[in-house]
């Protein structure tokens, strides 16, 4: 049975006019309508606590009590909404004073509620990166769900283990949020910078290059059996294999951090905390960052025809991927073997030559 709530939209004499909002069971409802059903059995909540419905009914049903794994992107959207509602409410209670994420978190007394807010805060960060006001061009190449027949090159788990892990400050920040300048808060500067970085990578590697009709499922196996796949598609697929993706993304993060420190854009303190993108980056600096991206994505590693190297790119072991990408080495039998130069390390990405 689908679940609904009502929302008042006006009045007719002594009666209130309301609309019925179906908030749980949309897919079931669509399936029934598609098959010709004229009436739907629903349960409508007339008097309710909206916060409780969202948090204790909908979110918990799709996380703790779920029988079939929910789309991670949808979980992030719901959790993000829960955090945003609570945070806006806090900001509205303090309209004339500078507040911060840290002060907001400190205002929550219940330990249980604090744990929930922490989870929802991380989901808010994820959702804001993938679905900002200005489009994230990489979002359509990221799988929203776990699936065997993968059509997209990047899993949601990989998105979290790379861009979120290496470029997002994941603690509650102490920086003040000025009431009249919420949009200039450095948290949103970080979001906009990361979205721009992801867009640069998407334009260089994915857009008009990775073909979703071909997809990512058992791609290398198909090539070995004789399937003809465009080189740009193969290259895009390899660049985002989970473990090598984690390695080069960390290298890129370290290179950008060093560059922005050198340009006096971030302090040593910000660098250590992980606030890498908490600064305004001008056009010339973005050109330099684009060059770093190109040094990674245009590397000859991704175009290899060597089956041994391809197996290493496909590895599920982080240490193997680390050796391959940052040292140009793989293990053959009992020995490590140097297979290419230069390796993709911070020195190479920054184009530092001795």
pLDDT, tens only, 187-213: 999 999 999 999 999 999 999 999 989
Q: Where are the domains of the chain?
A: 1-48, 145-153+193-354
Give the range among 92-101, 263-272, 287-296 with minimum mean pLDDT.
Answer: 92-101
Beta bridge partners of 20: 6
pLDDT (tens digit per residue) in 306-344: 999 999 999 999 999 999 999 999 988 788 899 999 999
The rounded percent of the chain whose pLDDT value lies above 90 is 62
Please give the pLDDT value at position 52. 75
Q: Looking at residues 262-276, what average pLDDT do you find? A: 95
Highest mean pLDDT among 18-22, 69-73, 144-148: 18-22
Model pTM score? 0.81
| Mean pLDDT on 134-149 | 82
* pLDDT of 65 higher than 70: no
**Listed range (91-100, 163-172, 217-226) with the worst mean pLDDT:** 91-100
The answer to whether 63 and 23 are in contact (CB under 8 A) is no
* Percentage of residues in the chain having pLDDT higher than 70: 91
For residues 177 and 239, the model is more confident at 239
Q: Measure the CA dihedral 194/196/198/201, to 10°.
A: -140
- pLDDT at residue 136 greater than cutoff 60: yes
More confident residue, 143 or 57: 143
Mean pLDDT of 176-183: 66
Residue 79: pLDDT above 60? yes
With a cut of 90, say whether residue 69 has pLDDT above it: no
Which pLDDT score is estimated for 134? Answer: 76
């Amino acid at each position: 049975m689908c679940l609904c709530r009502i929302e008042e939209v006006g009045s007719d004499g002594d009666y209130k006019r309301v609309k019925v909002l179906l908030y749980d069971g949309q897919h079931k409802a669509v399936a029934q309508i598609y098959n010709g059903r004229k009436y739907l059995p629903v349960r409508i909540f007339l008097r309710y606590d909206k916060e409780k419905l969202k948090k204790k009914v909908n979110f918990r049903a799709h996380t703790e009590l779920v029988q079939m794994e929910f789309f991670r992107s949808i979980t992030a959207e719901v959790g993000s909404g829960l955090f945003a509602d609570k945070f806006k409410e806090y900001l509205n209670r303090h309209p004339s004073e500078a507040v911060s994420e840290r002060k907001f978190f400190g205002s929550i007394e219940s330990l249980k509620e604090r744990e929930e807010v922490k989870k929802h805060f991380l989901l808010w960060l994820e959702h804001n990166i993938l679905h900002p006001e200005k489009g994230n061009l990489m979002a359509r190449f990221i799988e929203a769900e776990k699936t065997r027949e993968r059509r997209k090159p990047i899993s949601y788990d990989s998105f979290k283990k790379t861009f979120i892990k290496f470029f997002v400050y994941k603690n509650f920040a102490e920086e003040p949020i000025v009431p009249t300048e919420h949009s200039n808060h450095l948290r949103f500067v970080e979001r906009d910078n990361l979205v721009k970085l992801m867009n640069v990578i998407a334009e260089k590697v994915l857009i008009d290059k990775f073909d979703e009709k071909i997809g990512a499922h058992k791609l290398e196996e198909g090539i070995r059996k004789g399937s003809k796949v465009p080189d740009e598609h193969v290259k895009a697929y390899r660049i985002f294999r989970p473990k090598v993706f984690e390695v080069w993304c960390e290298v890129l993060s370290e290179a950008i951090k060093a560059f922005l420190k050198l340009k006096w854009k971030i302090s040593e303190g910000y660098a250590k905390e992980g606030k890498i993108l908490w600064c305004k980056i001008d056009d010339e600096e973005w050109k330099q960052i684009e060059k770093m991206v190109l040094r990674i994505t245009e590397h000859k590693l991704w175009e290899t025809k060597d089956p041994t190297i391809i197996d290493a790119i496909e590895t599920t072991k982080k240490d193997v991927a680390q050796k391959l990408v940052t040292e140009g080495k793989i293990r053959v039998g009992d020995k490590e073997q140097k297979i290419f130069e230069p390796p993709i390390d911070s020195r190479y990405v920054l184009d530092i030559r001795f």
